[in-house]
């Protein structure tokens, strides 16, 4: 079995298994801990406060965003590109269809190409910010930089592969490896916030709603 077949076959299934299994476990553990620590919240369950809390943090209009408009804007665009680009990339769509005959709408290649560059640029912005901003640098560890590298590596290698810079076969193998590595580390690192954010904001919203106070 070639390295390409290994990455596209067994290792891909392992990556998906760790990702989905790990995230499911995190959600279960979150609610178990929440029920133990914040049980009164669930007696005052409110869809209104749940969605208000999520909405005011997903849309960059909260007070924290107003105090840091540049960081907020870059972060907002960064997260959109991180999630939307790989999901709606034409090449990824073709692979999904070839493997499992699953298809969905894709973005034009020119759009995802620019989104890839925006993701890389935004990631570099946050990396530099960690180095030069005193209040961010003091809470930054080597693991934070490593996690940023793992996050950006699939985008850098994907961009190089699409434009066929350097040796294509080597770059595409690196792209597949880093993409699967990212899936594996998500449940065990800060990257899990892409999903856990919604649950934590929901619980926070209900808690503040119980007190009749905004959570933003």
Mean pLDDT of the 177-196 span: 92
Half-sphere exposure of 14 (CA within 13 A, CB side): 11
Domain ranges of the chain: 3-38+62-210
DSSP track, 145-200: HHHHHHHHHHHHHHHHHHTT-S-HHHHHHHHHHHHHHHHHHGGGSGGGHHHHHHHH
Q: What is the mean pLDDT of residues 150-157?
A: 96
| Backbone dihedral region for residue 140 (phi beyond 0: left; psi -120 to 50: alpha; all else: beta) | beta
The mean pLDDT of 167-171, rounded to a whole number, is: 93
Give me the DSSP letters along 75-108: HHHHHHHHHHHHHS-HHHHHHHHHHH--------
pTM, 2 dp:
0.84
At residue 210, does pLDDT exceed 80? no
Task: Please give the CATH number for the structural domain made up of 3-38+62-210.
Answer: 1.20.950.20
pLDDT score of 214: 57
pLDDT band per the 50, 70, 90 thresholds, residue 58: confident
| Contacting residues for 159 by C-beta, under 8 A, at least 6 apart | 113, 116, 117, 120
Q: Cα(192)–Cα(171) distance, rounded to whole angstroms?
A: 26
């Amino acid at each position: 079995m070639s390295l390409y077949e290994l990455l596209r076959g067994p290792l891909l299934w392992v990556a998906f298994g760790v990702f989905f299994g790990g995230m499911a476990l995190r959600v279960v553990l979150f609610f178990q801990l929440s029920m133990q620590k914040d049980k009164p919240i669930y007696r005052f369950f409110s869809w209104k406060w749940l969605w208000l809390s999520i909405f005011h943090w997903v849309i960059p209009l909260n007070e924290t965003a107003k105090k840091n408009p540049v960081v907020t804007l870059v972060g907002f665009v960064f997260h959109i590109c991180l999630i939307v680009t790989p999901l709606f990339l034409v090449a990824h769509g073709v692979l999904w269809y070839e493997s499992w005959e699953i298809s969905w709408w894709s973005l034009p290649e020119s759009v995802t190409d620019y989104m890839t560059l925006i993701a890389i640029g935004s990631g570099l912005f946050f990396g530099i910010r960690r180095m030069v901003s005193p209040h961010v640098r003091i809470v930054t560890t080597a693991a934070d930089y490593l996690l940023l590298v793992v996050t950006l590596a699939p985008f850098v290698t994907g961009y190089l592969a699409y434009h066929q810079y350097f040796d294509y076969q080597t770059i595409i193998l690196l792209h597949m490896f880093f993409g699967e590595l990212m899936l594996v580390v998500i449940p065990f690192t800060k990257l899990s916030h892409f999903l856990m954010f919604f649950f934590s904001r929901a619980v926070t919203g209900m808690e503040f709603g119980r007190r009749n106070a905004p959570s933003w």
